[in-house]
Amino acid sequence: MTRLLHIEDVYKSYGDKLVLDNIDLTVSQGEFCTVVGPSGCGKSTLLRLILGQEEPSEGRIEIKGQQGALPDRTRGIVYQRYTLFAHKTVLENVMLGRTLTEGQWWNPWYRNKSHVEEAMEFLRRVRLEDAAGKYPHELSGGMQQRAAIAQALIMRPPILLMDEPFGALDPDTRSDLQLYLLELWEKEKLTIFFVTHDMQEACFLGTRLLVLSQYYSDDRGMGADVKRGGKIVSDHALPKMATSTEVMNSEAFRALIEQVKKEGFDPDFRQHVKDFNLKHPDSFQTLLQSEYNAGQ
């Protein structure tokens, strides 16, 4: 498995507020990486940094060995909102990537049969072939998200970033789309980086679960002047189970949820940086002397 995404010593602050605090992370190809954490832990910020939408204050972010690129074809994105282009039909939306890169985007009458066929194939896969001629505002939220996934997938991005893509959907549609996304991931051998605040979703979907949290302790002390931001406090390798929601009722799954809740979401439970559960084979951690003073 090749190293697709590499993040080292990344910090991000907005003015005085430190959001991400010395993030180290490597993601291999084929991984379904979910990131979960309490609000304000910086998970969406981390995704924006990987996407190139924002720059890290310090540190390196590499996609396939390339450092610090602006948004381009190396990363696909599905947002929670603003997913489709409102002035184009669903088919045109899904085809857009092809039209932009291989077709004539400046020509409003341009139609390429192979592009249409490919887009229709993707629409079939997301079960939207009947909605091809409709405009986004005529679709339900779940259908819009499915179209947005097809739109991103047609370009076969090396890594697909998803920022709470199902956050605005009702529970039924949501679990429908979760199963569906797992199916796609398996069939298309995708690499996915999926940010959510929903622990169930994160534990259910991922082959690797990262917990990002601002609730931890280190050797910098607990003084009010110490600025502390979100860190990866645990990194679980998850067994890739059968793609069924049944698993959510199992004992092991419930235990995992409890553990994640404690590690990431409990302000009173603060692990020390040296005790983080970073057992995933790709996991690594570079601590500063101030964070962990081993000789003390």
Partner 1 sequence: MKRPVFLGLFAQPPKALQIVLAALPFVLLLVAYLVASDIRLEANPNDKLLPSVGQMVDAIDRLAFQPDRRTGDYLFWQDTLSSLQRLLTGLGLSTLVALTVGVMMGAFNGLFVLGNPFLTFISMVPPLALLPILFISLGIDEVGKIALIFIGTFPIMTRDVALSVRGMPKELIIKAKTLGASDFAVVGTLLLPQIMPRLITALRLSLGAAWLFLIAAEAIASTDGLGYRIFLVRRYLAMDVIIPYVLWITLLGFLMDLLLRILLKWRYKWYQG
Catalog residues that contact partner 1 under the rule CB under 8 A.
51-53, 70-73, 75-77, 79, 81-83, 85-87, 96-97, 99-101, 105-106, 135-137, 151-152, 155, 157
**CB-side exposure of 71: number of CA atoms within 13 Å?**
10
- CB of 70: closest distance to partner 1 in angstroms? 7
Task: Tell me whether residue 96 or residue 126 sits nearer to partner 1 (CB atom).
Answer: 96
- CB of 280: closest distance to partner 1 in angstroms? 27
Task: Tell me whether residue 155 or residue 179 sits nearer to partner 1 (CB atom).
Answer: 155
Task: Tell me whether residue 159 or residue 205 sits nearer to partner 1 (CB atom).
Answer: 159
Collapse the DSSP code of 6 into the 3-class scheme (helix H, G, I; strand E, B; otherwise coil) and give the result. strand
Helices (H), 75-221: 90-101, 113-125, 141-153, 171-188, 199-205
The angle at the Cα of 20, spanning 258 to 13, to the nearest 5 degrees, equals 145
Output the CA–CA distances (angstroms, integers) from residue 261 to 258, 265, 274, in the order listed. Answer: 5, 5, 19
- With contact defined as beta carbons under 8 Å apart, do 134 and 92 qualify? no
- CB of 32: closest distance to partner 1 in angstroms? 19
The whole-angstrom separation of Cα 204 and Cα 181 is 11
Task: Tell me whether residue 9 or residue 72 sits nearer to partner 1 (CB atom).
Answer: 72
Q: Which residue carries 């939306």 as its tokens?
A: 93
- CB of 153: closest distance to partner 1 in angstroms? 11
- CB of 113: closest distance to partner 1 in angstroms? 20
- CB of 143: closest distance to partner 1 in angstroms? 15
Task: Tell me whether residue 23 or residue 51 sits nearer to partner 1 (CB atom).
Answer: 51
Task: Tell me whether residue 72 or residue 266 sits nearer to partner 1 (CB atom).
Answer: 72
Task: Tell me whether residue 53 or residue 175 sits nearer to partner 1 (CB atom).
Answer: 53
Q: Look up residue 289 and give its two tokens.
A: 């002397």
Output the CA–CA distances (angstroms, integers) from residue 155 to 31, 36, 111, 200, 231, in the order listed. Answer: 18, 27, 18, 29, 32
- With contact defined as beta carbons under 8 Å apart, do 164 and 195 qualify? yes
Selection from 222, 164, 207 nearest residue 45 by Cα: 164
- CB of 273: closest distance to partner 1 in angstroms? 33
Task: Tell me whether residue 30 or residue 52 sits nearer to partner 1 (CB atom).
Answer: 52
The angle at the Cα of 125, spanning 198 to 2, to the nearest 5 degrees, equals 65
- CB of 101: closest distance to partner 1 in angstroms? 4
The whole-angstrom separation of Cα 135 and Cα 238 is 39
